Amino acid sequence: MSATVPSLLQRALDTALDRSLVLGYTRIGPAVRRRWWAPDAEPGSLAGRHVVVTGATSGIGTAMVESFLDLGATVHVLGRNAAKVTDLVADLRRRRPTAELVEEVCDVGDLDAVRAWTDDLAARIEDLHAIVHNAGVMLPERTESPQGHEMALAVHVLGPHLMTERLLPLLGAGGGGTVVIMSSGGMYSAGLRSTPDEIEYRDGEYDGVRGYARTKRMQVVLADAWSRRLRGGEVAVESTHPGWAATPGVSDSLPGFDKVMGPLLRTPASGADTAVWLVATRPDSSGTHHFWHDRATRPTTYPFQRRQEPGAERAFLDYVAGATDSVWPH
């Protein structure tokens, strides 16, 4: 699919929107950028393709399921709560009688559950076109996963890493698989943590917003590392952030923010747009930038931010590999 090429002025405006946060991240961002951003995917472009959406039972995930259905995909609706998954799929089937939907139950933060679910999926389908790691949490206090990992780390980083590792054979099978990790613009406020105590947030009093931002930064680093590892192969790995969208997650975890920004927040579908577009169009991702927002790559670090310490990325990736019993070739 050919992309429209934005003019210099449009690029400058796009960058200004991005740096201003309030303009770019809210509904104003896509309202302006829509004038020049890359075209939508062709209708039916995902017909016959299997796509997994994690965290599908709320907000951006539910909107993403609908957008993938619009493009003809068979959507695997993955949630941790079986009743919620069943209710959502029943509702979708009522409204869209021909929709191809598969119910999937897995707690992404539980590594044993991830192993069991990936084995189960591999026994049911022959190829997987894409997975969007969208499940997310912002927790008021430090809690631990069944394997004893800090929960935001388990849900945002360890579970998605292990899922990706175990689904690789399925993702490459049909040619042109895509993995998308849903990060957050909040990651700009955190540097990469690399000691075990920092990664597991045992290095000070727990702050949910900070724990969220740290693990969202880790997601971006992880996606870049996966992308380098798989360069030139069948599977592309990208990360993205949705801007600020009105979802139950935002109103529950950040009620003050929700109140102030309410009218300016994007719709969940707008928050889902870039992830869906990445899967459906597979834009050229041969460069080193794999962090997307509103259908364009964005910097992962700004010049005013502290440089990452040498060796931090390697130490982080080694920790992730060790925690998930997987291998990370450097």
Ligand X SMILES: NC(=O)c1ccc[n+]([C@@H]2O[C@H](COP(=O)([O-])OP(=O)(O)OC[C@H]3O[C@@H](n4cnc5c(N)ncnc54)[C@H](OP(=O)(O)O)[C@@H]3O)[C@@H](O)[C@H]2O)c1
Task: Tell which one of 24, 30, 72, 79 touches ligand X (CB under 6 A).
Answer: 79
Supply 326's token pair: 């997987």
Residue range at the interface with ligand X (CB under 6 A); choices 103-111, 227-235, 292-300, 320-328 = 103-111
With binding defined as CB under 6 A, does residue 115 bind ligand X? no
CB of 257 to ligand X, least distance (A): 9
Decide whether 36 or 150 has the Cβ nearer to ligand X.
Answer: 150
List the one residue from 77, 132, 137, 220 that touches ligand X (CB under 6 A).
137
Under 8 Å between Cβ of 242 and 271: yes
Residues 207-246 that bind ligand X (CB under 6 A): 241-242, 244-245
Least spacing, CB of residue 330 vs ligand X, in Å: 27
The single residue among 17, 51, 60, 152 that binds ligand X, judged by CB under 6 A, is 60
Q: Using CB atoms within 10 A of its CB, is residue 115 exposed (0-12), middle (13-18) or buried (19+)?
A: middle
Task: State the binding string over 242-261 for ligand X (x if CB under 6 A, else -).
Answer: x-xx-xxxx-----------
Both tokens of 84, joined, read 């919620």
Is residue 317 within 8 Å of 225, Cβ to Cβ?
Answer: yes
Closest of 215, 160, 164 to residue 192, by C-alpha: 215
Which of residues 108, 153, 162, 296 is near ligand X by CB under 6 A? Answer: 108
Assess 324 for contact with ligand X (CB under 6 A): no
What are the phi and psi torsion angles at 241 (to 5°)? -130, 150
For the chain, where are the alpha helices, taking DSSP H only?
8-20, 22-25, 28-33, 59-70, 82-95, 111-124, 151-153, 159-173, 196-199, 208-229, 248-253, 255-261, 268-281, 312-323
Query: How many Cβ atoms from other residues are within 10 Å of residue 1's Cβ?
Result: 13
Q: Could you give the CA distance from residue 176 to residue 278 in angstroms, rounded to a whole number?
A: 12
Q: Looking at 81, 147, 195, 288, which residue binds ligand X (CB under 6 A)?
A: 81
Query: In whole angstroms, how close is the CB of 5 to ligand X at the nearest point?
Result: 28
Q: What is the dihedral of CA 298, 1, 10, 219, to 10 degrees?
A: -10
CA 76 to chain CA mean position, Å: 16
Output the CA–CA distances (angstroms, integers) from residue 251 to 63, 254, 262, in the order listed.
17, 6, 9
Instruction: Kindly state whether residue 136 participates in binding ligand X, applying the rule CB under 6 A.
Output: yes
Among positions 24, 109, 160, 211, the unique one binding ligand X when judged by CB under 6 A: 109
In angstroms, give the least distance from the CB of 316 to ligand X: 19
Least distance from ligand X to the Cβ atom of residue 131, Å: 13
Compute the least distance from the CB of residue 233 to ligand X, in Å. Answer: 26
Is 57 among the residues that bind ligand X (CB under 6 A)? yes
**Residue 182 sits in the site that holds ligand X (CB under 6 A):** yes
**Footprint on this chain of ligand X (rule: CB under 6 A):** 54-55, 57-61, 79-81, 84, 107-109, 134-137, 155, 182, 184, 241-242, 244-245, 247-250, 271
